[in-house]
Structure 1
Amino acid sequence: MDIWKNIIIDKHFWAFYYYCKRLGDKIWFQKLDDNRANLYLIKNGK
């Protein structure tokens, strides 16, 4: 399932996305959207 099309692209998301990528591991992080907490899995690597 492609989670990317479900993500609202905004500067807060991208700031967190690049932060997670720099950690170099699979990370669960929280993104707030319409005051609801949604979890997304960032898969780093190829």
Structure 2
Amino acid sequence: QQVQEMHNSLELQYWTRLSEMRNRYESTLQQHSKPSKQLNGGSR
């Protein structure tokens, strides 16, 4: 049971870190408007 709690907390930290990185990445893209269109078009 203790291991499961550790796993959940690690997973939570991972997703929080991932969302932070994504927000930071999107904010940097908004600052550079021209490359953001190319990156958005390529990824989606």
Please give the range of the TM-score, normalised by the shorter of the 2 chains: 0.3 to 0.5
**TM-score, with length taken from structure 1:** 0.35
**TM-score, with length taken from structure 2:** 0.37
Q: Which has the higher contact order (CA 8 A, sep 6+)?
A: 1
